[in-house]
Structure 1
Amino acid sequence: MSSARVLFDAAAVDRALDAMAVAMRADPLFLVGIQRGGAQVADALQERLVRQGCRVHRGNLDISFYRDDLDTIGPNPEVRPTRLPFDVTGRLIWLVDDVLYTGRTIRAALGELFDYGRPTAIRLAVLVDRGGRQLPIAPDVVGLRHQAPMDCSVKLQSGPEGWRIVQRRVRP
């Protein structure tokens, strides 16, 4: 596997998160992060929104058992608890993820979210839209855009200065 190429440094990620929080501002706001990367992004957005004076309710979804590729993730997937400490019925829910690619993760998250109730509406916020959709999924708020080749992964990575977005070739 080749070394990672930094697409967006910590300063660019911080600016993107700031802009996303401004675009999402509402009071109250219901944020649901998709485990793992989306939950981290939702935490960062919550901090910014609270500083803007918004009341933010936070939850997390683990979509491990809602995926359409369960047969490929191995016998012992890392499962984290879903935590929704509020009723989703009748609420506008912001679903948050780190990187949007095919749309399959979002499809799985929508399936799980509807198992908890019937929101009035669901909006999608993603830190990075890398293109390559296979399903008709479109984000409402996007922090950064990067058209990545299919043979590359795009990841949120923690570094000494903060988060950055990296791309790595996954197939020769």
Structure 2
Amino acid sequence: MTETMISLHHTHNPKSNQCSSSMVKTVNAPLPLVWSILRRFDHPEGYKYFVRDCTMVVGSGGVGSVREVELVSGLPGRLSRERLDRSDDDMHVMIYTMIEGDQRLDNYQSTTTVHEDHGGGGGTVVIESYVVDVPEGNSEEETRLFVDTVLGFNLTSLANLTEKLAAAAKG
């Protein structure tokens, strides 16, 4: 099933001035809990490490909604406007595109899917992939390293939050 989801949702065809990558994170929390946090397009600061605040500009978090994300200081850029392109609660798929901002990630599109971990532990596998323009003056490797680092922090933060919530629910 995971291989099918990867081929359906995480296969990008970057143009010559773009790069792409993907990250996989296993989370020791049930899929419904992980998805309930991740799917909140209107509240990325709930788990994304580098997001200070989020304001909905269009919509309330459904497909077609646009959010303005304020980034923490220290990152290149302060703001990003992002549009939710797809959110599927049955398939656990979310796709969004950065449509403007000063963060140097032009034409950034992120795809995230959430899957049951079939290893027997009742956990969840989160896969996030992206495609993005390589900024002028940067290499593909530098761009990938930057984005992968941010994604790694975000996925670790998501795992820490949901694992704490799952442990608290168990009592």
TM-score scaled by structure 1?
0.29
TM-score scaled by structure 2?
0.29
